[in-house]
Amino acid sequence: MRVEAAYREEAAVTLRRASGELRKAIGMVEELEQAVGLAIALAGEAGADQMFELQKLDHLQQKIIGVADFLDALSATMPPQWRVDAKRASRRVLLAELGARLGDARASNEEGAGPENYELF
């Protein structure tokens, strides 16, 4: 099966877009960390176990930033002739809006300006 050229883009562009999505996720983790920290403070029981759990959120942020930095570094050295079908790959992403942004640079630019929408269960 041959993929249409219209659905292929530079791999570096796709990696940078994925990195951007990871960096957006950092904001969500920061908000969660603040909410959990406030809940612990209001409960008045900020023991060692609770502080350890709160540090896990900080560690998660560091890991996400690390992967985003890794993708940016890869994209900086990637030959422009390396092409990928990001649209096809994005169909594997279960969050519809995230999949749309990962699969299409235009969707990423259009939706990047507004607040993040969430799919509730």
Q: What are φ and ψ of residue 90, in 5° steps?
A: -70, -15
Asked if the structure places residue 121 within a domain, the reply is no
Q: How far apart are CA 44 and CA 114, in angstroms?
A: 36
Residues with Cβ within 8 Å of residue 39, at least 6 apart in sequence: none
Question: Quick check: is 119 in a domain?
Answer: no
Q: Is residue 3 part of a domain?
A: no
Strand boundaries in 3-119, DSSP class E? 9-10, 83-84
User: For position 5, what pLDDT does the model report?
Assistant: 53
Q: How many other C-beta atoms are found inside a 10 Å radius of the C-beta of residue 95?
A: 12
Whole-structure pTM over 0.95, yes or no?
no
Residue 42: pLDDT over 50: yes
Structural domains of the chain, count: 1
Q: pLDDT at residue 113 above 70? A: no
Domain that holds residue 79: 11-111
Backbone φ and ψ for 10, nearest 5 degrees, come out as: -60, 135
Please provide the average confidence, as pLDDT, over all residues in the chain. Answer: 83
The average pLDDT across 92-121 equals: 70
For residue 31, give the amino acid letter: E
Does any domain span residue 33?
Answer: yes
